[in-house]
Amino acid sequence: MIRVRQVEVYFENDNLEEIKKQTAIKLNIHSNKIKTIKINKKSLDARKKPKLKYIYEVDIETDEDYKILKHHKKDVIETPDEKYQLQITGTKKLEHQIVIVGSGPAGLFSAYILAQNGYKPIIIERGEKVEDRIKSVEEFWKTGKLNKNSNVQFGEGGAGTFSDGKLNTLTKDPNHRMKKVFEIFVECGANPDIMYDYKPHIGTDVLRTVVQNMRNKIIEMGGEFYFETCLTDIHTKENCLYEIEVNHNRTVLCENLILAIGHSARDTFQMLLDHKLRMSPKPFAVGIRIQHLQSMINESQYGMKSHPLLPPASYKLTYQTKSGRGVYSFCMCPGGYVVNASSEEGLLAINGMSNYQRESENANSAIVVSVKPEDYGNGVLDGLNFQRTLEQLAYQEGDGLIPIQTYQDFKENKMTTSLKNVKPIFKGNYKLVNVNRIFPKYISDSLIEGIEYFGTKIKGYNSSDAIIAGVESRTSSPVRIERNENLESNIKGIYPCGEGSGYAGGITTAAMDGMKIAEMIISNYQSLDGRK
């Protein structure tokens, strides 16, 4: 097969026959000579809006592949082998089942690869299985009654389950782990278009089913899940793990522990630090969520307010303030919702979420400001405490509800008393306040400077009626759990993994990091069913 790049199709004519036709034109052959065609990549070219084009990369098969390769040096290559390969070479004997802490993407994908190869892992999760977790979260949004162990942050699927399910990443992937991640998602119910779409997303509604299906597949392959089971202590001998404690009342023998704990397991970070697990503070970002009419974003990005053949438009914005501080959009949710994502009593954090169809009238995105240890202190958990301080102020400002404000009032540092054209779309109740009171002045000033600049990139972005809400504080982990070249911590047998440990930045990178940990263990140990 051969791979043909830069095949252009106008969006109104976007179908497989037209893609095949334009591929044939590019190669100067008749379309009936193309025996098979498969889309490998798809992106949108909006540089000449509203005349938008999709740019395709396709794999085709003809009877003249060699001839085409010889005569078309530009944009035509032999289709490379991009299959994920796993070499199983371990010889050590496992004394006990591998335990994975956390069932977010890092935990699920490490479990999947281990189970697929006969290692029968145990997955413990402090929250509920996803179908029960949904009920707890919806009850919280409706009544404010928080389940501290099962919420938007904790529970099967991790924090990403209540998000947009975005899968884009800039990580280079020579081992083709990302493709394997997407293949597993599709096998478990995700739309196959994630295999090639330029901005793949699953959607929170579909992701919940995908997570359930992954769990069932892992169980079928020999894995075990224990929900409402929290890691509460670790026991070591001569700097080696030999046992863990769960729920303060039961011990489990374990010499290999994968820590896929997520970025919000603050009590677990403290417990691990008490055991002198080596950690360091790291930069992260905090800020607000901003809502605009989706039609305004569409018009800026597409040159039209809507079109039935186009998805709701997204954006990515970055800026460096005059003081050198980074301001950027994060986890942008077209046609989405802003959700109360709190996980501790008396503290309030928010996040963004979209269904697969991205059907709401508003676009929302976090706009966040980078912070470094020198901003909040160099103690290992000082960043975590900084997050808590902002979340406590947000809770107090909104009297336990999501604090919101118009952008104009935020700029003028005054209380919002009424909203204008943009209608608030939230999961969880909200209150009109002055969001400025949550932040140190340097963060508020940086947000205003950044949003004003973004208004020069997207017309209306800095409009007075945009709605902002606080506080977006869980962009990434404020700590990194150190690991060596064998991916182990300074305590032998503990493998820090994923976003919570500081090695990922979203669903895809967390899943890939979970796979790396599984591969490392497989390279050292025999499987429990005797395979090598």
- Token reading at 26: 């590019």
Q: In this model, does residue 86 exceed pLDDT 90? A: no
H or E segment and range at residue 463: none
Q: Say how far apart CA 11 and CA 54 lie, in whole Å.
A: 6
Which pLDDT belongs to residue 172?
Answer: 80
Q: What is the pTM of this model?
A: 0.95
Order of strands, sheet of 362-371, starting from the edge strand that comes earlier in the sequence: 318-320, 326-333, 362-371, 284-293, 467-472, 402-406, 430-432
Which pLDDT belongs to residue 87?
Answer: 77
Place 532 in a pLDDT band, splitting at 50, 70 and 90.
Answer: very low
Which residue type occupies 74?
K
Q: Say how far apart CA 15 and CA 381 lie, in whole Å.
A: 52
Q: What is the pLDDT averaged over residues 249-277?
A: 97
* Residues ≥6 apart with Cβ < 8 Å to 392: 346, 347
Q: What is the pLDDT averaged over residues 53-65?
A: 96
- Token reading at 154: 């904790």
Q: In this model, does residue 88 exceed pLDDT 80? A: no
CA dihedral 171, 176, 179, 181 (to 10 degrees): -80
Q: In this model, does residue 47 exceed pLDDT 60? A: yes
Q: What is the pLDDT of residues 378-437, one digit of tens each?
A: 899 999 999 999 999 999 999 999 999 999 999 999 999 999 999 999 999 999 999 999
Q: In this model, does residue 484 exceed pLDDT 90? A: yes
Residue pair 380/190 in contact (Cβ under 8 Å)? The answer is: no
Place of tokens 């960043």: 383
Helix, strand and coil content of the chain, in percent to the nearest 5, comes to 30, 25, 45
Helix (H), strand (E) counts: the chain: 13, 24
Q: What is the pLDDT of residues 94-118, one digit of tens each?
A: 999 999 999 999 999 999 999 999 9
Strand 426-427 with 337-340, pairing:
parallel
Q: Say how far apart CA 76 and CA 5 lie, in whole Å.
A: 6
Which pLDDT belongs to residue 164?
Answer: 87
Burial (CB count within 10 angstroms: exposed 0-12, middle 13-18, buried 19+), residue 232: middle
Q: What is the pLDDT of residues 269-309, one digit of tens each?
A: 999 999 999 999 999 999 999 999 999 999 999 999 999 99
Which pLDDT belongs to residue 529?
Answer: 72
Strand partners, 235: 243
Distances (CA, A) of 186 to 57, 116, 182: 20, 16, 6
Reference 473, options 325, 341, 291; nearest CA is 341
* Residues ≥6 apart with Cβ < 8 Å to 70: none
First to last CA, the chain: 33
Residue pair 127/225 in contact (Cβ under 8 Å)? The answer is: no
Residue pair 358/346 in contact (Cβ under 8 Å)? The answer is: no
Residue pair 326/358 in contact (Cβ under 8 Å)? The answer is: no
Q: In this model, does residue 7 exceed pLDDT 90? A: yes
Residue pair 107/215 in contact (Cβ under 8 Å)? The answer is: no
H or E segment and range at residue 329: strand 326-333
Which pLDDT belongs to residue 530?
Answer: 60
Place 30 in a pLDDT band, splitting at 50, 70 and 90.
Answer: very high
Q: Say how far apart CA 164 and CA 351 lie, in whole Å.
A: 10
Three-class SS of 282-325: CCEEEEEEEEEEHHHHHHHHHCCCCCCCCCCCCCCCEEECCCCC
Q: Say how far apart CA 376 and CA 385 lie, in whole Å.
A: 8
Q: In this model, does residue 372 exceed pLDDT 90? A: yes
